[in-house]
Amino acid sequence: MTATAPDLGSREFSFTDQDFRALAQLARAEFGLSLAESKKPLVYSRLARRLRARHISSFQDYMTLLGGQEEADERLELISALTTNVTSFFREKHHFDTLRRELMPQLVKQPRIRLWSAGCSSGQEPFSIAMTLLDALPETSRRNVRILATDIDPAIVRRARAARYPKEESETIPAELRRAWTKPCPDEDDQVEMSQTARQMISFAELNLIEPWPFHGPFDAIFCRNVAIYFDHDIQKTLWSRFAGMLRDGGFLFIGHSERVSGPALQSLTTAGVTTYRKTSASGPAVAT
């Protein structure tokens, strides 16, 4: 979160320490989100927009609204407002180099290939994974290959599923991959869309990472980058362990540049490069699905 914080002395809505603590408790209980006291000005800035949109005059009334059983959509608006969807094609390129160089020789021998983009945002990450696989393994589209792409925000998942991006965003795709796996949108000159071949490899879904997961793996690689930074250390350690249990032996976990695996997961995940971990021993059942 990098937005400039407002001067709370001239704020439009009253926002007490009690209001902030109540919001922080809800954000942690519902989404695992950790909000430090220092985030109070930024939380106000982000959520004041929601109060205006819902024609609410106070944060106390907003908390009452969030508690309503019919307000699941507003609770998702809350998490969307408090987190930042910053992504690009082939962001942190070294992860895709590792996928190509270290994992692909292993995957070509397997009848089944599964990868997971956990926190896929608007889809650039899973499509970067798909293009890497298609380029390194030309027969990928004829093999049993699936990429699961999940995010907590339904609106961002819809954008990812649409698979359309501004031309300038596509400039970060290597030229040969851009030519092979994207095409101009027939109805929007300033947009490109991903090829049907790449789209068919990916299953998009909504998922809250701190809730039970409706699948069992095992995955050959999991990308969860710049998501755990929003969680406190206890939730992070639980998440790393759950990911370790979802990986097959030899599988990779790719995380964000400011994140580090900690806790019991380090019994089976070892450092394999910059913000890259590899599973070296079983850490729980992983049943093929």
Active site residues: 46, 151
Helix or strand or coil: residue 172? coil
Q: Which residues contact 132 (CB under 8 A, 6 or more apart)?
A: 96, 99, 100
Pairing mode, strands 182-185 and 219-224: unpaired
**DSSP string for 50-93:** HHHHTT---HHHHHHHHTSTT-HHHHHHHHHHHS-----TT-SH
- The structure tokens listed for 78 are 């809350």
| Alpha helices (H) in the chain, listed in sequence order | 17-31, 40-53, 59-66, 72-82, 93-98, 104-107, 124-136, 154-162, 167-170, 175-181, 196-200, 233-246
Query: Where do we find the tokens 């089944």?
Result: 112
What is the SS3 assignment for 113?
A: strand
Question: Coil, strand, or helix at residue 12?
Answer: coil
Contact 244, 268 (CB under 8 A): yes
